[in-house]
A and B are shown apart, each in its own frame.
Chain A
Amino acid sequence: MSILVQVIVGGLLLGAVYALFSSGLTLIWGMMNVINFAHGDFVMLGMYVAFVVWTLLGVGPFVGAPIAALVLATLGVIVYFGLIRSVMKGPMLAQILGTFGLALLLRYSVFWGFGANFQTLPENLVGGTFDVLGIRIQASRLLAGAVALLVTLGLHLLLTRTSLGSKMLAVAEDATAAQLMGIRPDSMQAIAWAIAAGATGIAGALIATFFYIAPTVGETLGIVAFVTVSLGGFGSVPGALVAGLLIGVIESVSAYSIGAVYKDIVVYSLFLCFLWFRPQGLMGKS
């Protein structure tokens, strides 16, 4: 019994990180109807930034996460002005090709620079393991889950409670009307890309403390983000949070009960079933 609880808690903590990077994807999708196929690779870059920070400076995620957020946010703005702004107006093919090409470019540049080998950060970089009410928890996972949860909630508050958030929602609603009200759609969309990419940076740096680091990890994490966003409903950060936690739990319970190889199979099958029966997601309106 306590093992199952432990598995579920582990899933929730991982799910919070899923929620964090997926809310970046859902923000961009909701605001400008663009799917970033490079989203998982942004998370992968965040992991490598944390890895490089540790190798060069010997410090853990408390320094790594802010640096990763900054690096990725900068990349997000560059990607927005360099690529997204023009492909947004083009045909669907251009949008998907653009971000998909970006994914390949990032993935194989890292592959070329760092090699295909799996890297890991030292296991005890963030504390060790400890017991709470008979449940063993790794400190690194607890830190990652807690910080991810806080940042996701902060992101939700930013979008719903601040004037910046209102401006961004106005642009999402109707960019032309927002422009007439004196809001610059261009700046708002660039900010959205900075926030979304920054979130993947933090998520990557957090997850790097206990996950394997490899150039191809972005592919798996990208699909996790697609599943989360489809499940949570398009453009909804609370939806992404609930869906992220749910997927984290489903993954770790299926890894525990059927075997680690099958956890992705379960999640992907669930996603395809969902598209059949409830394509608008858990919380979306039909």
Chain B
Amino acid sequence: MRRLLWPSVALALVIAYPLWFSTPFQQRLGALVLLYAIAASAWNIIGGYAGQVSVGHVVFFGCGAYAAMGAYAHFGWSPLVGIPAGIVLSVAIAAVIGVPTLRLSGHYFSMATIALAELVRLIVSNTDYLGAAVGLSGPTVPRNLFDLSFTSALPYYYLFLAVLLITLGITWWMAESRMGFYLRAIKDSERAARSLGAPASRTKLHAFILSAGLTSVAGALYAMMFGFVDPESGLGILISVKMLIMAALGGAGLLFGPLVGAAILVPLEEISNNLLGGKGAGLTFVVYGAIIVIIARFQPGGILTLIKRIWAISDKAAKAAVAEGATHAP
């Protein structure tokens, strides 16, 4: 029961947040935290659990965003219809790029994904059907509820929360399944895992595909909330960077790591952009870069690993104190 206590308290607080903090800025901030938490949690499956650092996840994010906006812009359908299309497209791209690169050392995977991201961005920026440099827009005035176009951030907040819970549920289920055990073994030592019969390439590919599909859902939700997508907001490499850094800061390979990372970094970015204006964008990424370097250098496990370690130490100290008390008792 104690295992469930903290998550349920946290969940209650997350559900109550927009009721306490009810200004539009605060509600929008909350919705963005949840949205980036979905994307970073999706990245976490391949980057954290499988230990394969994808720098091109923005491609899948863009697939979802473009599919959702394309469904409206070209066919007049609800952006919701684009979600399955975005998932199918993402899964196909992940399979094509994952099959050759996941057999090689992790460096190749990272380099291939970064090249893929740039390639897709360049192609989309020069394709008129996808709006080229201008991008695609969603419904400006909602026709019905299924357009999911709201002026307030509150409906998005609860929508994103529901999707985040599903994403975390899938991640948890995956981590507890046979696949999760294979992934942990592969991450520790791929050679040892292979020699014990774990199908390393196939398991990594499955993780990549799962991660890609979930990321595209995040992209579709993003486009719905902002009502448009262009090459910069849907396919810019910095979106990959955000997923990566949020997961790593909170704790890559831990269920709640990406959520913790998003809860720290999204407010940081929003506030610094608000305070510093356009100039702030550059400074924000200087800070991002510094944070990434510091995590890599001192605490690759992220904040949650650090907290766990501190808890373990204080736990030990507490037990030692109890034991000492027992020996001194009359």
Contacts and interface: CB of A to CB of B under 8 A. Distances in A.
B252 interface: yes
Interface string A247-276: 000000000000001101100110110011
**By DSSP majority rule, is chain A's interface helix, strand, loop, or mixed?**
helix
B53 A261 contact: no
A265 B123 contact: yes
B126 A261 contact: yes
B282 A101 contact: no
B289 A108 contact: yes
Given A83-B293, A108-B286, A265-B122, A93 B252 contact: yes
Interface residues on A, range: 35 or more
A92 interface: yes
A97 B115 contact: no
Contact of B100 (A35, A220, A223, A276): A276
Contacts of B108: 230, 275, 279
B286 A264 contact: no
B154 to A, nearest CB: 33
A275 B286 contact: no
**By DSSP majority rule, is chain B's interface helix, strand, loop, or mixed?**
helix
A272 B112 contact: yes
B283 A269 contact: no
B289 A226 contact: no
Contacts, number: 148
B119 A268 contact: yes
A102 B112 CA distance: 20
B118 interface: yes
Nearest to A226: B111
A111 interface: yes
Interface string B215-241: 000000000000000000000010001
A238 interface: no
A4 interface: no
Given A101-B290, A226-B114, A265 B119 contact: yes
B297 A87 contact: yes
A104 B111 CA distance: 16
Given A83-B297, A94-B296, A223 B118 contact: yes
Contacts of B285: 104, 107-108, 111
A97 B118 contact: no
A272 B112 CA distance: 7
Interface of B: 47-48, 51, 53, 55, 97, 99-101, 103-104, 106-108, 110-112, 114-116, 118-119, 122-123, 126, 187, 237, 241, 244-245, 248, 252, 279, 282-286, 288-297, 300
Interface of A: 29, 33, 35, 37, 82-83, 86-87, 90-98, 100-109, 111-112, 116, 219-220, 223, 226-227, 230, 261-262, 264-265, 268-269, 271-272, 275-276, 279
19 contacts: A93-B300, A95-B296, A97-B295, A98-B297, A100-B292, A101-B293, A101-B295, A102-B289, A104-B286, A104-B292, A105-B293, A106-B289, A108-B283, A108-B284, A108-B289, A109-B289, A265-B119, A268-B119, A275-B104
Top 10 A-B pairs, shortest CB-CB distance? A101-B292, A105-B289, A104-B289, A98-B296, A94-B300, A108-B285, A101-B293, A268-B119, A97-B296, A112-B282
Given A35-B111, A97-B292, 9 more contacts: A83-B293, A95-B296, A97-B53, A101-B290, A104-B241, A105-B293, A223-B118, A230-B111, A279-B100
